[in-house]
Chains A and B, each alone.
Chain A
């Protein structure tokens, strides 16, 4: 019996050592996981989750320093997909969102260009000192252009 116990214990020890060596030395697939998580996010780059873009939020999720329910544009569906991918529990959405697009009031626009620089997907076009406009089909509704406008001429209109 002593032989049996010793053998098993030895095998367990060796297996444990091998596994810890592998987890340290072999390349981790964390980057692939961040990519997979980023694929599930809606790419609005709106920073409503508290991170400066979708990829930083994805990295935070993989590091386990962020919950999976912080993305309003993704909706509950994204929370469920993330839960399925990562094997975590489904949480209710922290903040709900309605799909919206930005609209510039042409009469008030002074052409300063702050909103154009703020847009993460370059959906605002306009030359300096001339009127700017939002390309509606490319606007993701992230609301990052609303604050920089010095004359407050940008509003969010609900879609459909």
Chain B
């Protein structure tokens, strides 16, 4: 069943890129065996790091809570397999490009014994939204598209506005990445089931599952799953294959033709976006009782011998995963977690797979840019920018460090998709320049705020000293007046008393 393509919005710009997905989607998802050691960072999400609740030497079971969420924004971490906690120490992690961050290291015992089933609802009947939301929080579910925002808090924030529809993001527009495609082919039932859980938690009645037109297998399987489910509220939509349709704001614009306001969220226009993987994870936790302890990841690139999609336990190192697939090719020069346009470059492959690792790419050196020439003002960058910015002007002002102009031209709206880099004939590293400029204008804004605060305190202090001086002057004048009114006799009496006191000393 192919979805209808009417009443879609239109994306400005964007690029049709070579997909490079056929190699990794040729075979079904394979399971990576449980490794000897699992390294679980306590920060795998946006917000406060989770606090460990286990000690060194403690034996843990699969699915057991090992770090609890801390503060208003956070998510818990669960053990991905049974074993003994041997250390809680810094280890290279992906969100720091290979630099260390605290992790809980578990030596696996190979039994993979699950923790006793907890009080998961099992089915949805009678679950209030609040109960569902707190349950989702306990499952450690975060956005699996890569943003890793804690799902429960995202849903809670959305409920405070007027939400109209849920959008499940199966677009996966970046080249090489195909984990969501394979998930939609093999686990379509879980995805649509998860949509139902989310709709009940949000109390809304519309859900769009959005897939790009270059994924016919995924569309077919999702269509069949939806037919089985017979839930009219969930609609399958197909969008053209253009990068970066999968960005949150871009997807909302495509599906509903509404623009997310600058600096705002999709909930401001009544929409909430969740990755299809997140929906499946919610289903697995709420209905099957399994917390987020594994995920599907694409392993691909010219530097990988056998590209494929694998399901691995959270905490398996990238080295182990690549080893399982058949190792690196000789030409592998850079290791990228994520896609070839927005991914992060790692210094080592000892980093563990975490909740947000959607893709592991090894690329060769020759893919990169040649010598940088001056900007020739061709305007191609503006033609492809999905946010309708003028990257050429932003580049000019970034070079000049002109903070006002950068804000005026919308630098903070840049989504760093990389489309401008891909069309620049002068091979200028535009996205990198913008990233640095964003940091700089944030620094400037902080400095200005600090200066403004100091100035307010200074002015307040001056005002206080003025007030005190005025008060003292008033008192003095009043005393003088009182003395004058009292008359010369009273003054003489005071003087006499003072003289007596002096003689008395």
Contact = CB atoms under 8 A, between A and B. Distances in A.
B464 to A, nearest CB: 8
B409 interface: no
Contacts, number: 33
27 contacts: A42-B447, A42-B450, A42-B451, A42-B454, A43-B451, A43-B452, A43-B454, A43-B455, A43-B458, A44-B454, A45-B454, A45-B458, A53-B458, A54-B455, A119-B461, A120-B458, A120-B461, A121-B454, A121-B458, A121-B461, A122-B457, A122-B460, A122-B461, A138-B453, A138-B454, A138-B457, A140-B454
A60 to B, nearest CB: 18
A66 to B, nearest CB: 19
Contacts of A156: none
A33 B455 CA distance: 18
A123 B451 CA distance: 14
Contacts of B452: 43
B288 to A, nearest CB: 48
A134 interface: no
A126 to B, nearest CB: 15
Contacts of A121: 454, 457-458, 461
A77 B452 CA distance: 17
Interface string A117-160: 00111110000000000000010100000000000000000000
Contacts of A119: 461
Chain A interface secondary structure, helix, strand, loop or mixed?
A: loop
A41 interface: yes
Nearest to A140: B454
B442 to A, nearest CB: 14
Interface string B207-231: 0000000000000000000000000
Nearest to B461: A122
Interface centre among A41, A44, A121 (most CB of B within 10 A): A121
Nearest to B452: A43
A123 B447 contact: no
A6 to B, nearest CB: 48
Interface string B17-50: 0000000000000000000000000000000000
Interface residues of A, number: 15
Contacts of B453: 138
Contacts of B450: 42, 140
B204 to A, nearest CB: 43
A138 B454 CA distance: 7
Nearest to B440: A77
Interface in B436-474: 447, 450-455, 457-458, 460-461, 464
Nearest to A73: B451
B407 to A, nearest CB: 15
A138 B455 CA distance: 11
Interface in A67-121: 80, 119-121
Contacts of B447: 42
Contacts of B451: 41-43
Given A42-B451, A43-B452, A43-B458, 20 more contacts: A42-B447, A43-B451, A43-B454, A44-B454, A45-B454, A45-B458, A53-B458, A80-B401, A119-B461, A120-B461, A121-B457, A121-B458, A121-B461, A122-B457, A122-B461, A122-B464, A123-B457, A138-B453, A138-B454, A140-B454
Nearest to B457: A121
Contacts of A80: 401
Interface centre among B447, B450, B457 (most CB of A within 10 A): B457
A45 B454 CA distance: 9
Contacts of A45: 454, 458
A106 to B, nearest CB: 23
B345 to A, nearest CB: 26
Contacts of B464: 122
B450 to A, nearest CB: 8
A138 B458 CA distance: 11
Nearest to B402: A84
Contacts of A120: 458, 461
Contacts of A54: 455
Nearest to B451: A43
Nearest to B454: A43
Which 7 pairs between the two chains have the least Cβ-Cβ distance?
A121-B457, A43-B455, A43-B451, A43-B454, A122-B461, A42-B451, A140-B454
Interface in A31-78: 41-45, 53-54
B263 to A, nearest CB: 24
A121 B447 CA distance: 16
B301 to A, nearest CB: 38
A41 to B, nearest CB: 7
A123 B454 CA distance: 9
A141 to B, nearest CB: 10
A131 B72 CA distance: 36
A37 B156 CA distance: 46
